[in-house]
Amino acid sequence: MNILKTVVLSLYVFFCVACSDKNSSEKVLLTESVPVTFSGIVYGELRENGFVKPLSPRIPLMDSIPSATERSTLINSRLSRVIKAYVIKSSMTESDSLKIRLSMRKEDKTPYDFKPVNLVLYRNGEEDGFYVFQTMTNSKGKPLLFSKNENDIGNFDDAVVLCIKKFTDRFYYDLLE
């Protein structure tokens, strides 16, 4: 299936929303035409009960992750993260997972030459009238790592590595099939 819509989220808002709770009046999304609306985002670690416990710093940014061995060590440390997104219920979000393609652009919307990363968010129940989607649950998914080095980007067998250059950069999410 073709790409349905593109969602834009600045890193500034991404970080700001991550520190606010899901019941705040601040909304993450983005344009009215997008079929998937995020109402809040939490960064943390996955607990045995499947819940995500918020951690600080929300996005621990490493200078680089040069090897699979270092990546393996980091995913078992307090530097890996799981993203928990509160998603407004709609016909598009009734599925068990949401597939997105993540790319990065500069503040002036100029694309970086980074390769995009495809991610899957898995539905993990409901809370306060929202569906909960996470990058990792007790049975599915992978932890996330954040690097300043674009050569580290990728969706690997053990983790997903994303690149962040500046806080003014913008993530672009494309909802896939």
In a domain? residue 72: yes
Tell me the average pLDDT of the chain.
78
Matching residue, tokens 């250059």: 165
Matching residue, tokens 């079929």: 35
Q: Which pLDDT belongs to residue 153?
A: 94
Give the residue among 146, 149, 93 at the shortest CA–CA distance from 121: 93
In a domain? residue 123: yes
Give the pLDDT confidence of 91-130 residue by residue, as tens digits: 878 899 999 888 888 889 899 888 899 999 999 999 988 9
**What is the residue range of 168's domain?**
6-175
* Number of structural domains in the chain: 1
Give the residue among 137, 174, 126 at the shortest CA–CA distance from 22: 126
Partnered with residue 146 across adjacent β-strands are 61, 162
Q: Which pLDDT belongs to residue 36?
A: 67
Q: Which is more confidently placed, 152 or 31?
A: 152
In a domain? residue 1: no
3-state secondary structure the chain: CCCCCEEEEEHHHHHHHHHCCCCCCCCCCCCCCCCCCEEEEEEEEECCCCCEEECCCCCCEECCCCCHHHHHHHHCCCCCEEEEEEECCCHHHCCCEEEEEEEEECCCCCECCCCCEEEEEEEEEEECCEEEEECECCCCECCEEEECCHHHCEECCCCEEEECCCCCCEEEEEECC
Provide mean pLDDT across the span 58-76.
Answer: 92
In a domain? residue 139: yes
Q: In Å, what is the CA distance from 76 to each residue of 54, 67, 110? A: 16, 15, 35
In a domain? residue 63: yes
Q: Which pLDDT belongs to residue 147?
A: 93
Provide mean pLDDT across the span 59-71.
Answer: 92
**pTM of the entire predicted model:** 0.77
Strands 144-147 and 160-163: parallel
Distance CA 84, CA 20 (A): 13
In a domain? residue 88: yes
Matching residue, tokens 């929202």: 130
